[in-house]
Chains A and B, each alone.
Chain A
Amino acid sequence: MENVNIINKEVNVVAFYFHSKGMRLRCYPKIMEWNGKRITFTETGLRHPTKKGMRSIHVFDMTDGNADYRLEFDAHQLTWTLISISDMHYGPESYDEKVGFSHRNLHSQFAK
């Protein structure tokens, strides 16, 4: 399973950059302050709008090269929320530890 840590805390985004995707100039977060750390984003994955009732929410999937961050910007309240962090430890290991079963072993048995 993927290793996703749900944070759901308000954060400060202290620097932005602008990029033209298609016809419009859009604003993206560049540096985020969270938990006493400064995280500089190196790449934007995807920005997509969504709604909570009538409130417009912009969801940003960002990465700093070590982990993927999911940020939400509430266009009504003008706040940034860090929703989750998915780190590099992808793969079935963490899941296997939980269930006490390794598909790697099973795969190697089939290979034999």
Chain B
Amino acid sequence: MPRLETVQLPVNDAEPQVMHIDLNSCFATVEQQARPLLRGRPIGVTNRKTEYTCVVAASIEAKAQGVKVGMSLHDARILCPDIICVETDPPKYHHVYQILVNIMKSYSPNVIMKSIDEGVIDFKGTTKVINTRSLEAIGYEIKQRLKDEVGTWMRCNVGIAPNRFLAKQAAGLHKPDGLDIIDHHNLRKILKTLKLTDLTGIAERNEARLNSAGILSPLQFLDTPAEVLRRRVFRSVCGEDWYKRLRGWEVDDHEWDTKTVGRQYVLDEMRPTPESVFARLMYLCETTAIKMRYKGLAARGMYVYVRYASGDYWYERRMFKTTFFTNVEVMRRAALLFNRRPLDEYPREIGVSCYALEPSTINQVSLLDEINRDIWLTEAVDRINSEFGEFTITMASSLEAKGIVKQKIPFGSTRYFELLCNRA
């Protein structure tokens, strides 16, 4: 049964209180800020300096020539022969991220960072008490503060709306240095100028779903009743969420718990020996265990997968009776599963993931002396590594992979950003 309040919802006519801030081409802009000779030139930021590496960020100048994020550097060079390849430098981005967070938190305690380069400030409840100015004035002030505190090359988009979705849409309207407001007065006018795929969360497949129901534009999407979206288009509660989202009601304020912790690696050799694959897997296990302890978690489940050169995929997963979080335990359990893999082909990609997470019992003394010794050893090694640098003491089995497998900048979450910067 559709919920009555959803079916009857009008466009939210409340004052816009959500501000979305998005740094444009964040890594590329930070590199241009750091190195003035790169300014005004097309640059692509990559995780490795190889021909077929992926461009993780492209400058505005490169984007103007058709370069897109996710494209291989080889393709980017065909579109833009003058593109300059710069390798990622995580501490630099972390510094800018920290400044951005500090600026945002100075306006409201309710700040949510969506990724490394974008965040949301929720002004609900703070307007009359703390911020007596309009959000537009605050938006322009944030832009200026970013220039003052980081550098003159830094620019950001600001979007203001009644909910997070519309605020993000507003931030994307006038790149690279825009400030836009969407409210109930101009919602229809702005949606009229957009395509379905311009909406965040609507890509080709969702567009096809909407088209099959006769919805061809965002305005038609807005005018579609919730029941049609729920029963015919999305066939789930997502339809109602879209109905509310487009009308300016908040549905995206969920905090998701960490469900899995893991790492993957595309192998650097076309025909790796089993020993070198095993060394890389052990390294992935070690860093996965470090990530788990960083979050104060322990796991019960272990998942290991291998993708082969032919495209075949093999995986093995198992739930254990006891939780684990030490390097040795993660390695031992992963090796147990990994040794069952088929050996017919050369692997191209390996990955390890821990699931069924729960708070770690690292502070609880066990009745079994062996377990205590293992925990104390792990704690001692972690302390030494935090004092003298990551991997000062490390496992011999993963030594071969240390100089080869590198932790790279993640696209989305900032959960392990501090850890990544310590390692960099």
Query: Residues of A at under 8 Å CB distance from B?
Result: 1-2, 21-22, 43, 45-46, 48-54, 59, 61, 63, 67-68, 86, 88, 90-92, 99, 103-104, 106-107, 110
Q: Which of A50, A63, A99 is close to B36, meaning CB atoms less than 8 Å apart?
A: A63
Whether A103 and B37, one on each chain, are in contact in the complex, defined by CB atoms closer than 8 angstroms, is no
Whether B95 and A91, one on each chain, are in contact in the complex, defined by CB atoms closer than 8 angstroms, is no
Kindly state whether residue B26 has any CB partner on chain A within 8 Å: no
Known: A22-B148, A46-B30, A52-B389. A2 touches B86 (CB 8 A): yes
Whether B37 and A67, one on each chain, are in contact in the complex, defined by CB atoms closer than 8 angstroms, is yes
A-B contact pairs, 8 of them (CB 8 A): A22-B145, A45-B151, A46-B33, A48-B91, A51-B421, A86-B35, A90-B38, A91-B82
Known: A22-B149, A48-B95, A49-B95. A43 touches B81 (CB 8 A): no
Q: How many residue pairs at the A-B interface have CB separations less than 8 Å?
A: 83
Please give the distance in Å from A45's CB to the nearest CB on chain B. 4
**In the complex, A107 Cα to B75 Cα: how many Å?**
11
Known: A52-B389, A92-B77, A103-B78. A45 touches B36 (CB 8 A): yes
Q: Which of B51, B84, B99, B421 is close to A90, meaning CB atoms less than 8 Å apart?
A: B84
The 8 nearest A-B residue pairs measured at CB: A48-B95, A46-B34, A61-B34, A45-B34, A53-B389, A50-B91, A68-B35, A103-B77
Q: Residues 33-47 of chain B: 1 if any A CB is under 8 Å from the residue's CB, otherwise 0?
A: 111111001000000
Please give the distance in Å from A72's CB to the nearest CB on chain B. 11
Please give the distance in Å from A11's CB to the nearest CB on chain B. 18
Whether B84 and A88, one on each chain, are in contact in the complex, defined by CB atoms closer than 8 angstroms, is no
**In the complex, A50 Cα to B423 Cα: how many Å?**
10
Whether B36 and A43, one on each chain, are in contact in the complex, defined by CB atoms closer than 8 angstroms, is yes
What bracket does the count of chain B residues touching chain A fall in?
A: 35 or more
**In the complex, A22 Cα to B99 Cα: how many Å?**
10
Query: Residues of B at under 8 Å CB distance from A?
Result: 30, 33-38, 41, 49, 51, 77-79, 81-86, 91-92, 94-96, 99, 145, 148-151, 386-389, 392, 421-422, 424
**In the complex, A51 Cα to B238 Cα: how many Å?**
44
Which residues of the other chain, B, contact A1 by a CB distance below 8 angstroms?
Answer: 49, 84-85
**In the complex, A86 Cα to B424 Cα: how many Å?**
20
Q: Tell which of A48, A88, A104 has the most Cβ of chain B within 10 Å.
A: A48
Whether A68 and B37, one on each chain, are in contact in the complex, defined by CB atoms closer than 8 angstroms, is yes
Residue on B nearest A86 in the bound complex, by CB: B35
Whether A103 and B81, one on each chain, are in contact in the complex, defined by CB atoms closer than 8 angstroms, is yes
Please give the distance in Å from A92's CB to the nearest CB on chain B. 6
**In the complex, A99 Cα to B52 Cα: how many Å?**
14
Residue on A nearest B145 in the bound complex, by CB: A22
Which residues of the other chain, A, contact B388 by a CB distance below 8 angstroms?
Answer: 53-54
Which residues of the other chain, A, contact B38 by a CB distance below 8 angstroms?
Answer: 68, 90
